[in-house]
Amino acid sequence: MAISITVNGKRHEVAATPDTPLLYVLRNELGLNAPLFGCGLEQCGACKVLRGAEAVMTCMLPVGDADGARITTLEGLAEDGELHPVQQAFLDEQAAQCGYCSSGMIMTIAALLWATPHPTDEQIRTALDGNLCRCGSHARVLRAVRRAEALMWGDGN
């Protein structure tokens, strides 16, 4: 049986062998660019996508284990041409330098704000500890989380 995955709302039959990490299927078979190779060791978070509503790393996840999964990459996060609140917040806060880690961070935060609409500072930092950034845009990213929270759910009152 061929493996199939649904990515950004569209179903795809996968040509790669089942042991191929999902990252290479997304990038090379489907031509997506947002999930990026950072370590291949599940240490840095650059390759994160949403599987259902959960942020997962794709650099070691065999595509065979994702058979039937619903995957959302950064390319599929906007709806009807409108940016997702986390994307909008990143723009408003100019929350990047090189931007290599941005996609993985946006996925982590989108998942966090669905599961925990009003996270504590510690919950935000813990959720993002799996996303490494070398340029040092952390302070902006933390501000962007609060801005996204307000855009998604109001100010919490």
| 30 contacts other proteins (rule: CB under 8 A) | no
- Binding of other proteins by 60 (CB under 8 A): no
In angstroms, what CA-CA distances link 54 with 2, 14, 111, 122, 157?
A: 24, 22, 6, 19, 26
Of residues 110-129, those binding other proteins (CB under 8 A): 122, 124-126, 128-129
> Which residues between 128 and 157 bind other proteins (CB under 8 A)?
128-129, 131-142
CB 151 within 8 A of CB 112: no
Binding residue for other proteins, selected from 4, 43, 53, 153, defined by CB under 8 A:
43
Residues linked to residue 62 through DSSP beta bridges, in sequence order: 21
Q: What is each CA distance from 53 to 83, 109, 116, in whole angstroms?
A: 17, 11, 12
Which residue ranges make up the site for other proteins (CB under 8 A)? 16-17, 20-21, 24, 27-28, 31-34, 36-41, 43-44, 46, 73-75, 77-78, 83, 87, 90-91, 94, 96-103, 106, 122, 124-126, 128-129, 131-142
